[in-house]
Chains A and B, each alone.
Chain A
Amino acid sequence: MEKKELLPVLDSSIKEIRRISGGSSDVLINRFVTGGIHCALLCCEGMVSTSVITELIFEPITDIPEKQNAEELFHYINEELILSTDCPEIGDYDTLFRFMNSGFAVLLAEGMTRALAFGVQGYAARGIEEPSGEGNIMGAHEGFTETVRVNMSQIRRRIKSPELVMELFTKGSKSFTDLCLCYMKDRVPKSLVEKVRNSLNDVKLEAVLTTGQLRPFLENGNYEIFNSTGTTERPDVLCSKLIEGRVALLVDGVPYAIIVPRLFCESFHTLDDYAFKPCYTTFIRWLKYVAFLAAVLLPSFYVSIVMYHPELLNSTLFMLLVDAEKKAPLSIVTEALFALLMYEIIREAGVRLPKPVGGAVSIISGLIIGDAAVNSGLISTPLLTMTALAVLCGLVIPELNPQITVMRFVFIIVGGALGLFGISLLMCGVLVNICATEDYGFPYTAPFSPFKASGMGDTAVRSSVKKMQSRGFTVEEYHE
């Protein structure tokens, strides 16, 4: 949109606003006279609170005594009346529309080439609810919402330090989406904030509607399997990351925040880890590491060992598998792929359908199709067990589930074609890919490789909180 300056004649200005908005029905223009000056209050229907606008804007503004000109009127409003805590001045139609469409009321006056905006946002928004994707037993039950300012307040409520900086700016040439860059200025590596800002400068999207549209700009590599930026829908998790010296990005309209940088080991952490005793947390962490490996490799190892390396099995297990597999009509690879594809279809159907129907789909598919497939001999019981176990293991680390799903399929195909040799080759490729993932100088695999002994206290094991508090960890320790 062109950056045209406001016209001094009120009628012409209103005509221009109608022209730019194309006569949109949600642009409300209220004309009135106050202090002897013709004025107009503009707002966007549904974006402002009617009660607030009546009580805080209309009532005081209509009581203004006679003024000689609009300049004096604006001076009086700015100096004598405090109509809103947030009241910027506007000089062009581009800014006027941006404010109006963000829930500001805009005051135009006859003879003025400036306008006053008052923050009276009052749009309908979802309240703060428990996050659906990041379950927690002992921690807070509040999650982010779709409103960026509410999310900012949730962070501020938890970190009251003045070192916490929140920079608001907009992105999207059509959507003008509010983004908020958060960081602790005493903890964050200086270069990191600059680099993130530079990365965001490359965003030339028309609309920013999800975090997924911004993440590719914040991640450097094109061929990385794993994301080097993380997301969270929990303000408490985000605050812990900010205190560790990371940068976060809130996007208006999305109840998730992006965290930069993200490390591989963090996918295995939850806030509950700090609520339980260290020994239990350490056990759970290792359980998750094992679950990750099982989720990716278990079906492929099963396929390749049964097909090509049966000598690796002991005789009892071997006979058990032979008995089960000789009844199955399909090859083992086909069976495994079929079982996994079925699961993925069922999962996708369960996610996309309305909740009550989604539950029914899971029951029908799980109990009826699964049971029928095994009873009819279409799929052998050991293979179904392995597949189900692998899927279950993948759900232990929800953040890595998309990557696990794809890798599992690839490993099965390679294991079926090339046996353990192929699996080993693919493992090398994946390992190198993970190790090559590095954004802003932070290796994704730290602190395992490059190895940092000091980082093991909260990765391989979980040290006591007393020990950790004396460490004063920031992510800069892992910078290479």
Chain B
Amino acid sequence: MNSISRYQLVAMLIITDVFGVFCLSGSISLMTVYGMLSAIALQFLLSLIFALYGENSARWQQIIYLLYVVFCGGVLFSLLWRTSEVIYIPYEGRNAIFGRLITTGLIAFVCLYSSSTGLRAVSRAAVIVVAAGVLYIIIDFVSAVFTADWENIFRPENQGFFYEMSRGFAASGGIGSFFVLLEKTRGERCHATVLYFGAKAILTVLIMLTSISVVGGIVSITNFPVITAAQLSQPFEAQRIDALFLVIFISFAVFYLTLQVMTGAYLLKKIFPGVERWRSCVVTFLVLVAALFISGRELILARGIATAVVLIVSTTVKNPLRNSADK
């Protein structure tokens, strides 16, 4: 695995986390924005400890990270299967289970190919994909500014703050890869941390405000508000933005899974140095097994707890004072 720049690392992580926001289900309101921002702030503070004092992780930490990335990979497929009711994939409707299996197989195949090209290639591609994604989010936001009903922002909240915060934790699938890949990143670790959480916060706010303003009125009957907002947005007179969203959505899904598989493969090599070949295939297989177990469940609380556990594990650094002095 070769080293990458902090921008490339952030691009890969942003894709993963924004995909989590895209797949957000249930009602959303201004409280969701507060909850998610608080979750990001908390994650940032804990990650900063790791960035400042963390060193090479211990074997038990690596095992927890591995379990987490496998779990997140499984969550991805679960989210994809759940969103298939609103994201139209041609053959899925006709073939039910087989249709989903084909979708899963195709995504896993592209992911395996991508991970075989190496971290550098994927991170370079991620920068281009994230640029396209950000462009989409900005177009969607600007169109919402002119066309959406901003009164929706002030609609009453349906959920409490802690629930929304747990959604914020649940939508952070990239945190495990962040702790693992930070050691492969060139430059200041703190800068990468600030950049990652800063970009994540800005994009989350943009997406959430766009979605609330567009679907605010029908949020109670919408399963996936962000996806519905993308489908309802009409930035230009005679053209909707669905096509671009669909491309971005699928691309993000592929890169989400690729990041988890690559991180898993890297961890597998560290935990079992003898395992040289088929590491990506093993991780993909584990991810698919996890997806079968998770299938059909949203598991917000479980995902939130898993993220929190990884954050706590990462902050268990050896003698921070000594490390600080060394630096």
Check if B82 is an interface residue, CB within 8 A of chain A: no
Chain B residues with CB below 8 A from A314, complex form:
238-239
A301 to B117, CA, bound (A): 27
Q: Is B127 an interface residue (CB 8 A)?
A: yes
Whether B128 contacts A431 by the Cβ 8 Å rule is: yes
Task: For the complex, count residues of A whose C-beta is within 8 A of B.
Answer: 36
CB contact between B88 and one of A308, A438, A451 (< 8 Å): that residue: A308
Residue of B nearest to A430 (CB): B125
Question: Does A436 touch B at the CB level, under 8 Å?
Answer: yes
Taken together as a complex, chains A and B put the C-alpha atoms of A425 and B109 apart, in Å, by 10
Does the CB pair B110–A425 fall under 8 Å? Answer: yes
A420 touches B247 (CB 8 A): yes
Min Cβ gap B182→A in Å is 18
Find out whether the CB atom of A311 lies under 8 angstroms from the CB atom of B242.
Answer: yes
Asked if B143 is at the interface (CB within 8 A of a chain A CB), the reply is no
B117 touching A432 by the CB < 8 A rule? yes
Report A420-437 CB contacts with B as 1/0, cut-off 8 Å: 111111011101111110
Main secondary structure of the interface of A (DSSP, over half): helix
The number of chain B residues touching the other chain, given as a range, is 35 or more
Residues of A within 8 A of B243 (CB): 301, 305, 309, 312, 420
Q: Say whether A8 faces chain B, with CB atoms less than 8 Å apart.
A: no
- Which of B223-263 touch A at CB < 8 Å? 238-240, 242-243, 246-247, 249-251, 254-255
| Distance to closest chain B CB from A413 (angstroms) | 13
Contact A449-B125, Cβ < 8 Å, known A309-B243, A420-B243, A436-B118: yes
- Is B127 a contact partner of A432 (Cβ separation < 8 A)? no
User: Closest Cβ of chain A: how far from B275's Cβ, in Å?
Assistant: 23
Please state if A450 and B117 are interface contacts (CB–CB under 8 Å).
no
Assess whether A235 is interfacial by the CB under 8 Å rule.
Answer: no
Q: Which residues of B contact A316 (CB under 8 A)?
A: 238
Cα separation A445 to B106 with both chains bound (whole Å): 26
Binding site secondary structure of chain B: helix
Cβ B122 vs Cβ A432 within 8 A: yes
B89 at the A interface (CB under 8 A): yes
Q: Which of A424, A429, A450 contacts B246 (CB 8 A)?
A: A424
Is B162 located at the chain interface by the 8 A CB criterion? no
Known interface pairs A432-B113, A436-B118, A451-B7; A424-B250 also in contact (CB < 8 Å): yes
A434 CB contacts on chain B under 8 angstroms: 125
User: Can you list, as one digit per residue, whether each of A299-337 has a CB less than 8 Å from chain B (1) or not (0)?
Assistant: 001000101110110101100000000000000000000
Given the known interface contacts A309-B88, A428-B114, A435-B128, the answer about A420 and B246 at a Cβ–Cβ threshold of 8 Å is: yes
Contact B106 A425 (CB under 8 A): yes
What's the least CB distance linking A179 to chain B, in Å? 31
**What residues of chain A lie closer than 8 Å to B89, measured between beta carbons?**
418-419, 421
Interface centre among B90, B106, B114, B129 (most CB of A within 10 A): B90
B-chain residues with CB within 8 Å of residue A305 when the two chains form the complex: 243
Q: Which residues of A contact B255 (CB under 8 A)?
A: 428
* Most chain B C-beta atoms within 10 Å of own C-beta, residue among A305, A308, A429, A438: A429
B8 contacts across to A, CB distance below 8 A: 449-450
A289 at the interface (CB under 8 A from B): no
The answer to whether A480 has its CB under 8 Å from any CB of chain B is yes
Taking CB atoms, residues of chain A closer than 8 Å to B114 are: 428-429, 432
Given A425-B107, A429-B114, A432-B113, is A308 in contact with B90 using a C-beta cutoff of 8 Å?
Answer: yes
CA distance A189 to B194 in the complex (A): 35
A30 to B110: give the CA distance in the assembly, Å.
Answer: 69
- Complex-state Cα separation, A452 to B69, whole angstroms: 31
Contact of A448 with B by CB under 8 A: yes
| A residues less than 8 Å from B61 (CB atoms) | none
Answer whether residue B91 sits at the interface, using C-beta atoms and an 8 A cutoff. yes
CB distance from B225 to the nearest CB of A (A): 19
A443 interface residue (CB < 8 Å to B): yes
Residue of B nearest to A420 (CB): B246
- A449-B124 contact, Cβ under 8 Å, with A421-B250, A424-B247: yes
Residues of B within 8 A of A312 (CB): 239-240, 242-243
Provide the residues of chain B in CB contact with A308, threshold 8 Å: 88, 90
Which A residue's beta carbon lies closest to that of B117? A436
19 contacts between A and B (CB under 8 A): A312-B239, A312-B240, A312-B243, A314-B238, A314-B239, A418-B89, A418-B106, A419-B88, A419-B89, A425-B106, A425-B110, A427-B247, A428-B129, A429-B114, A431-B128, A432-B121, A432-B125, A436-B118, A448-B127
Residue numbers of B with Cβ under 8 A of A are 5, 7-8, 87-91, 103, 106-107, 110, 113-114, 117-118, 120-122, 124-125, 127-129, 238-240, 242-243, 246-247, 249-251, 254-255
User: A428-B250, A431-B129 known; 14 other A-B pairs, CB under 8 Å?
Assistant: A305-B243, A312-B240, A312-B243, A420-B246, A421-B246, A424-B250, A424-B251, A428-B110, A428-B251, A432-B113, A436-B118, A436-B121, A438-B121, A448-B128
Contact surface of A with B, Cβ cutoff 8 Å:
301, 305, 307-309, 311-312, 314, 316-317, 417-425, 427-429, 431-436, 438, 443, 445, 448-451, 480
